[in-house]
Chains A and B, each alone.
Chain A
Amino acid sequence: GQQVMQIPQYQHVQEGEDFTTYCNSSTTLSNIQWYKQRPGGHPVFLIQLVKSGEVKKQKRLTFQFGEAKKNSSLHITATQTTDVGTYFCAGTRNSGGSNYKLTFGKGTLLTVNP
């Protein structure tokens, strides 16, 4: 079945350092989504990427979708303590940007030392 691999599993940074998490799929994806889960909370949708090579920014967060639509990355510039949490990528093979049968990676836990 479809698998979505995410690395690293954990990342600890000093406040102000940059952070990147990577997501790789065994199959071509129709879209990829990113979620953030604060400790003890539930996943919260951040963004969806649909197009090959797409890059989107949300303030200090930059999201990329690979040209082959098999990999993606999330980069945070100058981390803050509010960035602490687990970041998940999730992909689907269904066309049209839909959320059909979304498969999640195992997530990257980010901790930030103030």
Chain B
Amino acid sequence: NAGVTQTPKFQVLKTGQSMTLQCAQDMNHEYMSWYRQDPGMGLRLIHYSVGAGITDQGEVPNGYNVSRSTTEDFPLRLLSAAPSQTSVYFCASSYAGARQGRNGYTFGSGTRLTVV
């Protein structure tokens, strides 16, 4: 069981470039989310999905797009990278409802993105 797999682990972009952060899970989780983590800011929700074909915005969605064509994959697209998007990005997945002993999100190992 791989859990939640994020690629790449590290990326440097130039301002204005676009890219896609990949996220895949093999646990048949309904929910998937993208968070960004900045020093002193905790984890802020960018976009989330409650199932294939369904996505919605979180707290800080501007500059990012998502799609969920399958249960397993939830890519995050940066449309035109800006230095303010320098951050650590975490993808996470979970079951939709409460499951005894298996609640909570499983996080990927993160993508460290620098925009210069």
Contact = CB atoms under 8 A, between A and B. Distances in A.
Interface of A: 1, 6, 9, 31, 33, 35, 41-48, 50, 88, 90, 96-107
Nearest to B91: A42
Nearest to A86: B42
B98 interface: yes
A49 to B, nearest CB: 10
Contact of A106 (B42, B56, B97, B103): B42
B104 A48 contact: yes
Contacts of B42: 6, 88, 104-107
Interface of B: 31, 33, 35, 40-45, 48, 50, 56, 58-59, 90, 92, 94-98, 103-110
B103 A42 contact: no
Contact of A48 (B43, B48, B103): B103
A99 B95 CA distance: 8
Contacts of A88: 42-43
B96 A98 contact: yes
B40 to A, nearest CB: 7
B84 to A, nearest CB: 18
B109 A100 contact: no
Nearest to A42: B107
A103 B44 CA distance: 7
A6 to B, nearest CB: 8
A102 B45 contact: yes
B50 to A, nearest CB: 7
A88 to B, nearest CB: 7
Contact of A99 (B40, B59, B104, B107): B104
A47 B50 CA distance: 21
